[in-house]
Amino acid sequence: MARRPGTIITCAITGAIHTPTMSAALPFRPEDIAAQAIAAAEAGAGILHLHARRPEDGAPSIDPEHFAAFLPRIRGAAGAVVNISTGGSLLNSIEERIAPALRFSPEMCSLNMGSINFSFHPLALRHDRWTFDWERDYVANSEGYIFRNTFRDIRAAATALAPHDIRFEHECYDVGHLYNLRFCMDQGLFRAPVFIQFVLGILGGIGADLDNLAFMKRTADKLFGHDYRWSVLAAGGAQMGLAAAAAQMGGHVRVGLEDSLHIGRGRLAASNAEQVARIRRILEDLGHNVAGPEEAREILALKGADRVRF
């Protein structure tokens, strides 16, 4: 019997939502980002979605030098596909946000497919004392944050990155973003098969429930036919359940401390690898094969690890 195609686990190691006070497990020093990324790959993550942070206080950073401090270590040890975020943190221009991807030319980078409110300000109420000065205001001020990804921004990113033959993780936070992606494909900005990350449960985007996942999938089927691959990330407590549902529906999955700090109700995860190991066990219990990095490269038609610049 032919082997069932594998399910790709992406692990998003640190992101730009959570802050050091919220969990001691959230890595922000380059050696910790590298160690957790390598452990996540060893636990079964075929793709590592990476943001950088300032090593001295954990603030989100898009400085290419901060990426340079961990990318070579990860490449040397892990073998997993490296996906560099272009999401940035609050208020960076698109030019700043794509600078790390331009410099390091990874196999993949994220690309956000529309502008939305993107808020996590309710988290500011959960802590009275913060480890670092920047944290409370950063979290509270997300109440006023518009995550800007205009058509012009998307075109600028796609055009600048085109010579690098990078595949995108097209992050779609609502159904309209799927239409934005279709429009951009029709304009010739992206070629099939595109890889869509359905992002559920961000305050400002579509909610994290099964109906919405089915709606996103149905809409994507209508717009892209066979020209797309897809994955789900559900923020917060919905992370594992919707990942399992996505796999049952033929999709791939994303976990990681970027989007959920927990491993169970009220229990902080000890590491990214713990979340990867958990979803891996769930997938295997459900009869799925987990795709290794080489299978992930094949499924997503990536250029290969020998063509990156780090």
Residues that bind ligand KMH (CB under 6 A): 15, 17, 85-87, 110, 112, 171, 199, 202, 258-259
Cβ of residue 299: shortest distance to ligand KMH, in angstroms? 20
Instruction: Give helix 239-248 / helix 272-285 axis angle, nearest 10°.
Output: 40
Q: DSSP E strands: which ranges in the chain?
A: 9-12, 47-50, 52-53, 60-61, 81-84, 108-112, 116-117, 146-147, 167-172, 194-200, 228-234, 252-255, 262-264, 267-268
Query: How far is 230 from 220, CA to CA, in rounded Å?
Result: 9
- 180 is in the binding site of which of ligand KMH, Zn ion, none (Cβ under 5 to 8 A by kind)? none
What Å distances lie between residue 306 and 107, 179, 230, CA to CA? 9, 34, 25
- 10 is in the binding site of which of ligand KMH, Zn ion, none (Cβ under 5 to 8 A by kind)? none
112 or 271, CB closer to ligand KMH? 112
Q: How many residues does the chain have?
A: 310
12 or 277, CB closer to ligand KMH? 12
Cβ of residue 109: shortest distance to ligand KMH, in angstroms? 8
- 92 is in the binding site of which of ligand KMH, Zn ion, none (Cβ under 5 to 8 A by kind)? none
Residues at the contact surface with Zn ion, assessed by CB under 5 A: 15, 85, 87
Query: How far is 201 from 153, CA to CA, in rounded Å?
Result: 24
Q: What are phi and psi of 171, to 5 degrees?
A: -85, 120
Up-side HSE of residue 40: CA atoms within 13 Å toward CB? 36
- 234 is in the binding site of which of Zn ion, ligand KMH, none (Cβ under 5 to 8 A by kind)? none
217 or 254, CB closer to ligand KMH? 254
85 or 239, CB closer to Zn ion? 85
What is the residue type of 147?
F
Select the residue whose beta carbon is closest to ligand KMH and give its number: 87
Enumerate residues 6+ apart whose C-beta is below 8 A from 149.
Answer: 94, 112, 113, 114, 115
Cβ of residue 224: shortest distance to Zn ion, in angstroms? 22
- 202 is in the binding site of which of ligand KMH, Zn ion, none (Cβ under 5 to 8 A by kind)? ligand KMH
Cβ of residue 14: shortest distance to Zn ion, in angstroms? 9
87 or 205, CB closer to Zn ion? 87
